[in-house]
Amino acid sequence: MSTRAVHIEVLESLDTSCLINALRRFFPIRGHVKIIRSDQGSNFIGARKELDIESNLNTSTVNKHSANHGYSWLFNSPNAPHMGAVWERMIGIAKRILDSMLLQHGSTRLTHEVLTTFLAEVAATINNRPLIQVSSDPEDPAPLTPSILLTQKTGPVPAPPGTFDIKDTSWQQWRYVQHLAQTFWHRWKGQYLPLLQTRNKWTINVPNLKPGSVVLLKDQDSKRHEWPLGLITRVIPSENGRVRQVKVHKKDSNKLFLRPVTETVLLLLPPPAPAQKTSIH
């Protein structure tokens, strides 16, 4: 909740015992937790009873329970998935993509090792999404990601070199995993990016992009875990004054690229110009 990161575990079943084992794997890796939040699934309720964890729907009593019992378990109201918006949004997109991929590729080839490795790649893809710009240098718009908060390392984990065609990967499991991970990356990017930029059709006037704005580029050729950022250096308005094209200085490149505004996602507006001082004589 504090890092907006996701952690994915593989469970053999949806019973209470498997959920407790997943929690016990989570704690040694991610550390002690103070609050667990979830819906009121039967395995969640069973795990709370088995572990004898305090439970309360009133968040005002969390601190007291945490101090007395180590951590608390807070349940959402029944039939209210919207109350888990922060985590439901990320996991919901991932589940829809995984469902469509399994329908296309089938699940017969997904051994436990392949599935565990693939879901680790899925978590890495989600955790490398940009959250906000942290650098004050407009020439270096480095984004903050959940992965940076978890690992304290700035660079994403690079994907193995090469192309992974499904026709050439039937005899090597690791290549098959990379093919699945690459497929998930392309679908994830296609579904997640539109959520960052709402497009109301001709009903609301949105501000034009300005020079100095930091944007995320919808580059179809970007590699896995790469989110190309750019700095707008020039805007090209149309006859009605609306900006339709921009010149973008891409990070780690000395070239300027001409891009339509539909291929950019605004992340940060330029700082306002300082007010000019006037003197009265």
Helix-helix angle 85-105:173-196, to 10 degrees: 130
pTM, two decimals, is 0.68
**How confident is the model over 130-151, as a mean pLDDT?**
75
Tokens 């680790």 map to which residue? 120
Residue 232: pLDDT over 80:
yes
**Three-state DSSP string of the chain:** CCCCCCCCCCCCCCCHHHHHHHHHHHHHHHCCCCEEEECCCHHHHHHHHHCCCEECCCHHHHHHHHHHHCCEEEECCCCCHHHHHHHHHHHHHHHHHHHHHHHHHCCCCCCHHHHHHHHHHHHHHHHCCCCEECCCCCCCCCEECHHHHHHCCCCCCCCCCCCCCHHHCCCCHHHHHHHHHHHHHHHHHHHHHHHHCCCCCCCCCCCCCCCCCEEEECCCCCCCCCCCEEEEEEEEECCCCCEEEEEEEECCCCCEEEEEHHHEEEEECCCCCCCCCCCCC
For residue 244, give every residue at least 6 positions away whose Cβ sits within 8 Å of its Cβ, in sequence order, or none: 236, 237, 238, 260, 261
Residue 273: pLDDT over 70:
no
In the chain, the percentage of residues whose pLDDT exceeds 90 is 10
By C-alpha distance, which of 174, 132, 173 is closest to 149? 132
By C-alpha distance, which of 13, 76, 92, 86 is closest to 40? 76
Q: What is the mean pLDDT of the chain?
A: 79
The model's pLDDT over 81-110, given as tens digits with 9 standing for 90+, comes to: 777 777 888 888 888 888 888 887 666 668
Distance CA 142, CA 47 (A): 41
* Of the candidate ranges 25-39, 57-71, 84-98, the one whose mean pLDDT is the lowest: 57-71
Q: How confident is the model at residue 191 (pLDDT cuts 50, 70, 90)?
A: confident
Q: Give backbone dihedrals phi and psi of 245, rounded to 5 degrees, phi first.
A: -135, 155
Higher-confidence residue: 79 or 236?
236
**How confident is the model over 28-47, as a mean pLDDT?**
88
Higher-confidence residue: 28 or 206?
28
Q: Which two tokens stand for residue 133?
A: 């710009």
Q: How confident is the model at residue 170 (pLDDT cuts 50, 70, 90)?
A: low
Q: Give whole-number Cα distances, 235 to 90, 130, 255, in Å.
A: 33, 24, 16
Q: Which two tokens stand for residue 234?
A: 């020039």
Distance CA 66, CA 46 (A): 19
Residue 62: pLDDT over 70:
no
